[in-house]
Amino acid sequence: MGIINSLTAALCCCLLWNTASANAQGTIDDYKRAAGLRKSLEGLAIHLPGRVTWLEGTEQFCYRRSIKEGQEFVLVDAVTLAKKPAFDHARLAVVLSKATGQIYSANKLPFPVVEFRDKGQAIEVPAANSTWKCSLTDYTCQKLGPASWEFQRHAFAAPEEPKPAPKPAVSPDGKWEAVILNYNVYVRPKDKRAGVAQSYDGSENNYYAQESIVWSPDSKKLAAYRIRPGYHRHIQYIQSSPEDQLQPKTFSLEYAKPGDTLDLPQPVLFDLEAHHQIDIDSALFPNPYEISALEWRKNSQAVTFEYNQRGHQVYRVLEVNAAGGKIRPLIEEKSNTFFCYSGKMYRHDIDDGKEIIWMSERDGWNHLYLYDGSSGQVKNQITKGDWVVRGVDKVDDQRRQIFFHASGMHQGEDPYFQHYFRVNFDGSGLTPLTTPAANHAVSFSSDLKYYVDTRSRVDLPPVSELHRTEDGKLITELERTDTSALAQSGWRAPEAFAAKGRDGVTDIWGVIIRPSNFDPSKKYPVVELIYAGPQDSFVPKSFSAYNPMQALAELGFVVVQIDGMGTSNRSKAFHDVCWKNLADAGFPDRILWHKAVAQKNPWYDISRVGIYGHSAGGQEAMGALLFHPEFYKVAVSTSGCHDNRMDKIWWNEQWMGWPLGPQYIASSNVENASKLRGKLLLSVGELDQNVDPASTMQVVNALIKAGKTFDLVFLPGQGHTWGGTWGDRKRYDFFVRNLLGVEPPNWNELDLKLEPEEAY
């Protein structure tokens, strides 16, 4: 009787709460709509095309498309235009279910793309956190190993197993092998134990690395790195709640942080016929952050490697003459801020290095250059203008043509829209391969005769077409997405919006997402999703029937995402705003953008602005309350790297510089914790292997010492995560309570499940 009374009271409370809030935002109905949004939209966009993969050596390609029953993979012949199922979906579902222990159906296979193997007789796919090779002749599946990071990015890795010893390096002629014995290089006949020492200067603290050894193509020389080890830092982890035992487990993970002393590699050459060791003068690579693998020229006369100087302000491509060890720079980049090796590195050697195609921002925009490999001089700039090359797709050495994608070339368009082009090595013949104003994704056949262009915008459903590369002629339309059912459901497309940034000249771009029951006569608090990592830009540009921001909007918010200054894919000056200044995070531009939206739209309430972010976005979300409390009132920060001295070395030294200086303190949420205003929710997984979890705990400690009030969610057994559905719920409730002024539902009394946002 007591249980019945309790349930009745709980239901009455929920009904009263819902009735009192019937005209408000953040109601039970809003939560229900948010919880079911993904499922309600799933499948309403029909013939939505996925990523294209070509069968190597053929003129056939495959892609996934949506159908009313789910998804299917189709195989298309670019010559005959025949279209058919790529494989027996039902049969594959059966064998893959059996192999993985999961349950899959024909039209709901667990992967978005397939890679064909064995001349089209097999496919390679990810499923159940593993990679599988499945035969299309007898339909059997073989497990190859773990899935790629792309498909298991939310899992944490188990403690690393000891790596097996590297195998001997076998000469190209198959007669010899090079091995490391007692820290030195030895050469011996293949499969024999006795060998001849080539070096004598190796030791525990200055050893030759087996994995660095490379043979010259003529099998007469060797190149290897001798390494003086630096400091190998380890993070210690406690897994408090392991699934296989009651007691906690501990493990450690090697993890270099800014300022750590790094390994110092020294390239060494060995002339085996002369039994001669050649040490290389290190004047051109004195202080490496990183040195690339050694590569021999095909004629065996020289070795090349790339040198990234500590601090990322000097980058060189170096060549060593094998005869005497003389070293020279082929390419040199110097910057007063940083040379962006993260996302803007491209090198292509032509005719064994006689010419080199190189990517650089030296003129203020990311472009391509043609170098003379003999003189190390620029022959010509290949691309030029106030726009950026985003990547090189193919290089045709015979025709001396480059196929690349770029953005910002078309005046009046969103400068982030990617278009595809062809250009000659000398910079002539720049030819657009895509023209409609949209974001394009192109996939070329291996022989470059054809390409598939899929274009869309956040407010424009995808169209996929097959084109002939020679003249760009449209051969056939492959797919045109039907969104009529999506529109009938009340779905509302995001709105792209641009406003002037802090300089009064540069356009800052973002998207606005409104709830499906949007009422322009109401006032809506604003929630911003932030990620301002300088390695890329992040505002969506392509169509998606569902975006996790939409679920949050359903609770009664307008949700936005913005790319401010300091992010990538614009000019070098735009990018350099982040230099030694990650705390900036583009906030001056973001705040102006918000104000411009509010000036145009009275329903956009900038007196109630919240912000949330993950990882670097977690640092930035908290930073909004520390450095801009006059504007941002509520923040949710998950897995944040709150002090750039605590986070991974490669990311933080790239933007914050080396050696460490006062700029690290100025940008630190830990050092600035006493400035906190507003409402803050912090979240961290105890097994985060991307960002040291101690980073969050140190900011927690600083907040406590400063007497600040905040909320903390500690996630046992979880890694670099938003917190799954439970974390989503906490975030929703935090914004509902603190921006809408409404008490969220008592989840312990409700049977309501959310779809996890981070699945996207």
Q: What is the pLDDT of residues 95-136, one digit of tens each?
A: 999 999 999 999 999 999 999 999 999 999 999 989 999 999
Residue 158 has pLDDT above 60, yes or no: no
Q: How far apart are CA 334 and CA 312, in angstroms?
A: 9
Residue 155 has pLDDT above 60, yes or no: no
pLDDT per residue over 162-174, tens digit each? 677 889 999 999 9
DSSP state of 737: I
CA nearest to 417, candidates 382, 455, 453, 462: 455
CA nearest to 310, candidates 260, 249, 346, 269: 260
Residue 54 has pLDDT above 50, yes or no: yes
Q: How far apart are CA 427 and CA 396, in angstroms?
A: 14
Beta-bridged to residue 305, according to DSSP, are: 318
What band does 42 get if pLDDT is binned at 50, 70 and 90? Answer: confident
Residue 154 has pLDDT above 80, yes or no: no
Residue 160 has pLDDT above 80, yes or no: no
Tell me the percentage of the chain whose pLDDT exceeds 70.
93
Residue 756 has pLDDT above 90, yes or no: no
pLDDT per residue over 298-330, tens digit each? 999 999 999 999 999 999 999 999 999 999 999
Q: How far apart are CA 328 and CA 280, in angstroms?
A: 11
Beta-bridged to residue 269, according to DSSP, are: 223, 278
Q: Edge-to-edge strand order for the sheet containing 474-480? A: 439-444, 450-457, 460-468, 474-480
In the chain the domains, ranked by start, together with CATH numbers, are 21-42+486-759 (3.40.50.1820), 53-151 (no CATH)
Neighbours of 397 (CB within 10 A): 14
Contact 571, 364 (CB under 8 A): yes
CA nearest to 373, candidates 437, 318, 336, 445: 318
CA nearest to 166, candidates 156, 151, 179: 179
Among all chains, which residue has been given the structure tokens 């608090």?
A: 525
**Both tokens of residue 568?**
């990538």
Q: How far apart are CA 621 and CA 527, in angstroms?
A: 11
- Judged by average pLDDT, the poorest of 8-17, 247-256, 348-357, 608-617 is 8-17
pLDDT score at 24: 64
DSSP state of 734: H
CA nearest to 631, candidates 588, 580, 602: 588
Residue 157 has pLDDT above 90, yes or no: no
CA nearest to 483, candidates 512, 511, 456: 456
pLDDT score at 750: 73
What band does 193 get if pLDDT is binned at 50, 70 and 90? Answer: confident
Transcribe 366-396 into DSSP letters.
Answer: -EEEEEETTTTEEEEESS-SSSEEEEEEEEE
Contact 357, 375 (CB under 8 A): no
CA nearest to 267, candidates 325, 349, 215, 323: 325
Residue 377 has pLDDT above 70, yes or no: yes
pLDDT score at 15: 30
Instruction: Tell me phi and psi for residue 13, to 5 degrees.
Output: -60, -45
Among all chains, which residue has been given the structure tokens 């459901």?
A: 489
What do you get for the CA distance between the two ends of the chain, in Å?
A: 45
Contact 452, 466 (CB under 8 A): yes
pLDDT per residue over 67-103, tens digit each? 999 999 999 999 999 999 999 999 999 999 999 999 9
Q: Give the C-alpha distances (Å, rounded to integers) separating 481 from 66, 460, 496, 545.
A: 9, 9, 20, 11
pLDDT score at 676: 98
Residue 448 has pLDDT above 60, yes or no: yes
pLDDT score at 754: 62
Give the pTM: 0.93
CA 712, chain centre distance (Å): 27
With a CB cutoff of 8 Å and minimum separation 6, the contacts of 377 are 371
Q: Give the C-alpha distances (Å, rounded to integers) separating 624 from 265, 557, 612, 675, 692.
A: 41, 19, 10, 11, 21
pLDDT per residue over 455-471, tens digit each? 999 999 999 999 999 99
pLDDT score at 4: 31
Contact 531, 616 (CB under 8 A): yes
**Residues recorded for the chain:** 760
pLDDT per residue over 4-19, tens digit each? 333 233 333 333 233 3
Contact 531, 615 (CB under 8 A): yes
**Both tokens of residue 114?**
């397939």
pLDDT score at 544: 96
With a CB cutoff of 8 Å and minimum separation 6, the contacts of 367 are 359, 360, 361, 381, 382, 383, 384, 385, 388, 389
* Three-class HEC string of 580-618: CCCCCCCHHHHHHHHHHHHHHCCCEEEEEEEEEEECHHH
Side chain identity, residue 367: H
| Mean pLDDT in residue range 54-58 | 92
Across 128-254, the runs of DSSP E, i.e. the strands, are 130-135, 141-146, 169-170, 176-181, 184-189, 196-197, 207-208, 214-215, 221-228, 234-239, 249-254
Among all chains, which residue has been given the structure tokens 């973002």?
A: 510
**Both tokens of residue 687?**
């097994």
In whole numbers, what is the pLDDT of the chain averaged over residues? 93
Q: Edge-to-edge strand order for the sheet containing 431-432? A: 388-396, 401-407, 418-424, 431-432
Q: Give the C-alpha distances (Å, rounded to integers) separating 533 from 256, 428, 586, 632, 655.
A: 19, 35, 10, 19, 9
CA 111, chain centre distance (Å): 18
pLDDT score at 733: 97
